[in-house]
Amino acid sequence: MSPKTNPPTTFTSPYSSSIPASSPPTGEKPLPSVDESEKKPLYNPPNASSPDTDPYLVDWDSPSDPANPSNWPLRQKLAFTLVGCSMIFSVSFSSSIFGPATPATAARFHVSEEVMSLSVALYVAGFAVGPLIFAPLSEIIGHAIPLSVALVGCAVFQIPLALAQNVQTVLVARFCTGAVGSGVLAVGSGMMAELYGPVTRAVAIGFNACMMNMGSTIGPIAGSFIVERYGWRWTGWVTLLVCVVVGLAAPFAIRETSRKRILVLKARRLRRETGDAGFHAKFEQETLTFAILAQKYFTLPMRMFVQEPILIIMTVYLTLVYGTLYLSYQMFSFAFKHRGWSAPVASLPFISVTLGILAAWGTWSLFTMTWYKRQLKIKGSCPPEDRLPPMIMAACILPPALLWFGWSMKTHWAAQVISCFFVGYSLQLIFMSGVVYMVDVYIPRANSAISIHVVVRSVVSASFPLWSTPMYRGIGVEWSATILAVLSAVMIPSPILFRIYGRNIRAWSRFCDPDP
């Protein structure tokens, strides 16, 4: 309503019980009064007595509004986290379960194993699609729908894989599964961040990363036994079954977590129930065009990647870590088969890797809930560099762990199996710390930073399985592991330098807050 010079009067509405306002212009009907017994304020802003307050702006009813995801009961948060991480596990499990089927499918379709290794490479390359499609989509329609669509898509594309009659169908189905399923990874992590505070959020994101890498580590174990006993086609049917089981649990635990979307739906409900078209959410006034989304998820990430040293170096390091994890699936299997073990038995050392991943999450959680939490209490806020101590420790463990594995080929098998634990432990701890550090550094533009990071990481890591087997055959596991160890050692100074000089580097940045 346009402000008038006459004295303010008081009107009542279904939205606020008593709000100063100007008299309505001539020709307009005043808002109907509401009986005191029917008044149920939807939201009382702190400045409700101000004439400038929009009485029809829909927001949370109170700071403790149960509709706000951060105020959900702990039981509901835990159920959401468990099912959401199970969805992430399913997609990641699908990425590696087909790896042990490479020899069988190569023989079936009369191609080389190097060609069939594209089935893993294309799946990982598909992960680059998720941030480019599902992240912008979640801005428009919220998080829950894209998450569900991505899981269903991952399940559906298992069918053509299991029924494939040629190598082309296998490769296309694998790429499409990775591309669609990556929406779970792109959207799921952000949903976890909506539920928790700064301390518990880091633990939840760590668990999310833990389930992602555990899925890809358990996949080869399951795949080896399935291919040995039931044939390679059952890798698709078993993955479909896993997705269906998780999908059946989703309706009972997965709810919308996008605050924008929740308030928009609340405004629509109020307009429908009251018949008053005035109710609106702040986010309904925002215009989301293709140009705006392209700026946020395409143009801005590219600009950040070429201008931000923290983003560049962390992306290079985590790409090496992620690629090494996928290399290890073939390297470990190759090494233990060299001992004369059968394919299923040679996959069992991945249990040691899985235990290392779990131990890394335990270390990360302990660090976050003790040292980091104390620092947060003392300082009031912690700089992103306070996330780095676990990463520094793990960076120093990874090179000797890789050397241990490579050069224990001729010792007792237990030595190599124990080294697998430390490889998994260090890879996971570096990965978790690095991702959380980047989120903290680029909080205002975290979506843009993580999207370009995931795209680069997925595209580069997809090439690792293509040259890994020829490398093992050509120079042996010992020297292959040595090359990876040297590359990992070269990256050790990066988290140390960021820990010391990170604040100064952020002060030069155009994209992050120097003093968060």
Q: What average pLDDT does this structure show over 258-283?
A: 85
Residue 98's contacts (CB-CB under 8 Å, 6 or more residues apart) are: 119, 120, 123, 161, 174, 219, 223, 232, 235, 236
Residue 514's contacts (CB-CB under 8 Å, 6 or more residues apart) are: 503, 506, 507
CA distance 309 to 312: 5
Q: How is residue 11 written in tokens? A: 């009107």
Q: How is residue 121 written in tokens? A: 């490479």
Do residues 246 and 316 both lie within one domain?
no
Confidence of residue 234 (pLDDT cuts 50, 70, 90): very high
Last residue of a domain, one of 257, 289, 306: 257
Note the pLDDT of residue 142. Answer: 85
Do residues 346 and 489 both lie within one domain?
yes
- Is the pLDDT at 34 greater than 60? The verdict is no
Residues spanned by the domain of 347: 297-510
Note the pLDDT of residue 280. Answer: 82
Query: Quick check: is 6 in a domain?
Result: no
Q: What average pLDDT does this structure show over 121-138?
A: 85
Q: How is residue 248 written in tokens? A: 């059946």
Query: Quick check: is 17 in a domain?
Result: no
Number of domains in the chain: 2
Confidence of residue 276 (pLDDT cuts 50, 70, 90): confident
Q: How is residue 346 written in tokens? A: 């040679």
Q: What average pLDDT does this structure show over 237-245?
A: 96
- Is the pLDDT at 21 greater than 50? The verdict is no
Q: What average pLDDT does this structure show over 216-230?
A: 93
Poorest-confidence range of 40-44, 346-350, 502-506?
Answer: 40-44
> Across the strands, what pairs with 9?
21
Query: Quick check: is 152 in a domain?
Result: yes
Where would I find the H helices in 40-142? 74-97, 102-109, 113-116, 118-126, 130-141
Query: Quick check: is 54 in a domain?
Result: no
Note the pLDDT of residue 52. Answer: 52
Decide: 282 and 57 in contact? Cβ < 8 Å: yes
Q: Which residue has the tokens 């090496």?
A: 320
pLDDT of 468-485, one tens digit each? 778 888 888 899 999 999
CA distance 127 to 456: 10
Do residues 310 and 247 both lie within one domain?
no
Do residues 459 and 396 both lie within one domain?
yes
Do residues 117 and 253 both lie within one domain?
yes
Do residues 337 and 238 both lie within one domain?
no
Note the pLDDT of residue 515. Answer: 61
CATH number at residue 191: 1.20.1250.20
Note the pLDDT of residue 403. Answer: 95
Chain center to CA of 184: 8
Note the pLDDT of residue 226. Answer: 95
Do residues 215 and 337 both lie within one domain?
no
Q: Which residue has the tokens 């080929």?
A: 409
Phi then psi for residue 422, to 5 deg, are: -75, -30
Of 420, 426, 253, the residue nearest 351 (C-alpha) = 420
Decide: 443 and 506 in contact? Cβ < 8 Å: no
Query: Quick check: is 35 in a domain?
Result: no
CA distance 379 to 163: 59
DSSP string for 396-441: HHHHHHHHHHHTTTTS-HHHHHHHHHHHHHHHHHHHHHHHHHHHHH
| More confident site: 203 or 136 | 203
Confidence of residue 513 (pLDDT cuts 50, 70, 90): low
DSSP structure class, residue 368: I
Note the pLDDT of residue 326. Answer: 82
Q: What average pLDDT does this structure show over 212-226?
A: 92
Query: Quick check: is 389 in a domain?
Result: yes
Of 184, 157, 185, the residue nearest 171 (C-alpha) = 157
CA distance 164 to 171: 10
Poorest-confidence range of 127-136, 176-185, 489-498?
Answer: 127-136
Do residues 359 and 243 both lie within one domain?
no
- Is the pLDDT at 396 greater than 90? The verdict is yes
Last residue of a domain, one of 257, 275, 310: 257
Q: What average pLDDT does this structure show over 350-362?
A: 95
**What percentage of the chain reaches a pLDDT higher than 90?**
42
- Is the pLDDT at 6 greater than 60? The verdict is no
Q: How is residue 341 written in tokens? A: 């073990």
Burial (CB count <10 Å: 0-12, 13-18, 19+), residue 102: buried
Do residues 239 and 385 both lie within one domain?
no
Poorest-confidence range of 52-56, 75-79, 146-150, 298-302?
Answer: 52-56
Confidence of residue 47 (pLDDT cuts 50, 70, 90): very low
| More confident site: 230 or 21 | 230
Do residues 329 and 433 both lie within one domain?
yes
Do residues 371 and 240 both lie within one domain?
no
Query: Quick check: is 455 in a domain?
Result: yes
Last residue of a domain, one of 257, 273, 308: 257
- Is the pLDDT at 169 greater than 90? The verdict is yes
**What percentage of the chain reaches a pLDDT higher than 70?**
89
> Mean pLDDT over all residues of the chain?
84
Note the pLDDT of residue 514. Answer: 57
Note the pLDDT of residue 15. Answer: 34
Do residues 349 and 202 both lie within one domain?
no
Query: Quick check: is 238 in a domain?
Result: yes
Global pTM reads 0.83
Note the pLDDT of residue 32. Answer: 45
Q: What average pLDDT does this structure show over 251-265?
A: 88
Poorest-confidence range of 162-176, 231-245, 248-262, 420-434?
Answer: 248-262
- Is the pLDDT at 16 greater than 80? The verdict is no
Q: What average pLDDT does this structure show over 410-425?
A: 93
